[in-house]
């Protein structure tokens, strides 16, 4: 029986990349889990978020906003376990053990570490370096097997497998499962609207590079209108997008939002100019996103309710995590009395 776990950092506002690459697929897993009788667990990973500086008030707001985003997108706290990472201390406790299993060299190879730490690694937090060990703990403290993520997280989920395998080998056990990244769907990598070679990210300094889940219709339309493109018309075949990253990204976003293939989108828009395609994309994005942003805004007027929902979720999560951590302590040789 699979068990599904994934998380998003409350490190800024949610983007269209988070929605298409992660949240929307979480909802599909939730429905599948319900039918097939397996658990789905989704988390706001606030301990990951503070690996880079977060203003405390902003972190609180962003965590609630992320919870609101999950619920507005269709995650239902009565169907999935929905909670905040720091409210389940077993994540950090297991992460310490994994810090002692993982090797420095493994961490140094992580592209996210290289990207986020930049050239001045001496100044990066120790937490940023150890990020993948905490992520492995997030997953393995539930014995999760299926991890739906966007393309950018593939390397971290693979490292989770390495940590599980080394733990199992060192302690001569088969306690931790070998997990699978599940990277599927049309939009596993939504790119920046300003630079087709960079992923759309909540921490991009330019707000014009991303569509935020809280953007209103005017903002969405204006960002799509101003999105960087080349001067040519759209091709009628997907192969014609190979050297045109910005055009490919917009077609990909359209396809994901409309639940169409890129071929189908080009069947409708091949030969058309961006002056025609961009307004159609803006209309589609507004139609799909505005019900979610409206519901998010409504939920955000009731922060106490959000806190109550995630508090209950944390209790449910701990019911699974606590026995797994205890068993891990036994395996490692730690006394519990
Ligand atoms: N552009 C994207 N396209 C597809 N999927 C994406 N994800 C993020 N950006 C895209 C997926 O969203 C999930 C949560 O990501 P995260 O917030 O935990 O971390 P991240 O990947 O580092 O996302 P951001 O937006 O870039 O945040 P910052 O700027 O704070 O680092 C993951 O499944 C991710 O793949």
Exactly one of 79, 116, 166, 312 is catalytic; name it.
Answer: 116
Residue 154 falls in the annotated catalytic set: no
Q: How far apart are CA 83 and CA 87, in angstroms?
A: 8
Burial class (CB in 10 A: 0-12, 13-18, 19+), 18: buried
Domain, as residue range, for 42: 4-182+302-332
* Structure-block tokens of residue 334: 């730690």
- Residues 111, 125, single domain; the answer is yes
Residue 199 falls in the annotated catalytic set: yes
Ligand 1 atom closest to 49 (CA): 30
- Residues 117, 30, single domain; the answer is yes
At what angle are helices 262-269 and 274-300 packed, to 10 degrees?
130
How many Å lie between the centroid of ligand 1 and the Cα of residue 159?
A: 17
Cβ–ligand 1 distance for 9 under 6 Å, the answer yes
Residuewise pLDDT in 10s, the chain (337 residues)? 899 999 999 998 899 999 998 999 999 999 999 999 999 999 999 999 999 999 999 999 999 999 999 999 999 999 999 999 999 999 999 999 999 999 999 999 999 999 999 888 999 999 999 999 999 999 999 999 999 998 889 999 999 999 999 999 999 999 999 998 888 877 678 999 999 999 999 888 999 999 999 999 999 999 999 999 999 999 999 999 999 999 999 999 999 999 999 999 999 999 999 999 999 999 999 999 999 999 999 999 999 999 999 999 999 999 999 999 999 999 999 999 8
For the chain, how many structural domains are there in total? Answer: 2
How many Å lie between the centroid of ligand 1 and the Cα of residue 173?
A: 33
Identify the residue whose tokens are 């658990």: 39
- Residues 12, 111, single domain; the answer is yes
How many Å lie between the centroid of ligand 1 and the Cα of residue 272?
A: 31
- Residues 317, 168, single domain; the answer is yes
In this structure, the chain runs to a length of: 337
The model's pTM:
0.93
Assess if residue 201 is contained within a domain: no
- Residues 292, 306, single domain; the answer is no
Closest CA to 285 of 234, 237, 227: 227
Q: How far apart are CA 50 and CA 55, in angstroms?
A: 9
- Residues 76, 58, single domain; the answer is yes
- Residues 164, 26, single domain; the answer is yes
Residue 116 falls in the annotated catalytic set: yes
Q: How far apart are CA 97 and CA 102, in angstroms?
A: 9
* Structure-block tokens of residue 164: 């599980």
Identify the residue whose tokens are 């690459």: 21
What is the residue with the minimal CA distance to atom 34 of ligand 1? 150
Assess if residue 195 is contained within a domain: no
Exactly one of 79, 154, 166, 199 is catalytic; name it.
Answer: 199
- Residues 16, 157, single domain; the answer is yes
- Residues 52, 130, single domain; the answer is yes
Q: How far apart are CA 153 and CA 148, in angstroms?
A: 9
């Amino acid at each position: 029986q699979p068990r599904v776990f994934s998380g998003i950092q409350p490190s800024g506002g949610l983007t269209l990349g988070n929605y298409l690459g992660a949240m929307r697929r979480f909802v599909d897993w939730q429905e599948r889990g319900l039918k097939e009788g397996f658990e789905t667990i989704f988390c706001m990973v606030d301990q990951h978020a503070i690996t880079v500086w977060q203003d405390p008030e902003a972190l609180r707001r962003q965590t609630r906003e992320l919870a609101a985003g999950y619920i507005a997108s269709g995650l239902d706290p009565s169907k999935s376990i929905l909670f905040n990472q720091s409210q389940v201390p077993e994540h950090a406790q297991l992460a310490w053990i994994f810090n002692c299993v993982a090797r420095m060299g493994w961490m140094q190879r992580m592209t996210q570490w290289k990207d986020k730490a930049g050239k001045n690694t001496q100044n990066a937090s120790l937490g940023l370096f150890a990020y993948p060990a905490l992520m492995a703990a997030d997953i393995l403290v539930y014995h999760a097997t299926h991890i739906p993520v966007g393309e950018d997280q593939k390397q971290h989920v693979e490292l989770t497998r390495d940590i599980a395998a080394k733990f199992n080998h060192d302690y001569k056990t088969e306690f931790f499962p070998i997990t699978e990244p599940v990277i599927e769907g049309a939009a596993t990598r939504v790119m920046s609207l300003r630079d087709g070679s960079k992923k759309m990210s909540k921490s991009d300094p330019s707000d014009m590079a991303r569509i935020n889940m809280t953007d209103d219709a005017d903002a969405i339309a204006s960002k799509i209108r101003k999105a960087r493109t080349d001067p040519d018309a759209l091709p009628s075949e997907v192969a014609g997008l190979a050297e045109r990253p910005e055009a490919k990204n917009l077609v990909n976003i359209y396809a994901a939002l409309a639940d169409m293939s890129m071929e189908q989108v080009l069947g409708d828009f091949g030969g058309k100019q961006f002056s025609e395609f961009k307004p159609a994309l803006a209309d589609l994005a507004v139609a799909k996103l505005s019900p979610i942003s409206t519901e998010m805004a409504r939920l955000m007027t009731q922060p106490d309710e959000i806190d109550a929902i995630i508090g209950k979720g944390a209790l449910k999560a701990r019911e699974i995590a606590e026995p797994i951590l205890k068993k891990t302590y036994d395996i490692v040789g730690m006394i519990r009395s």
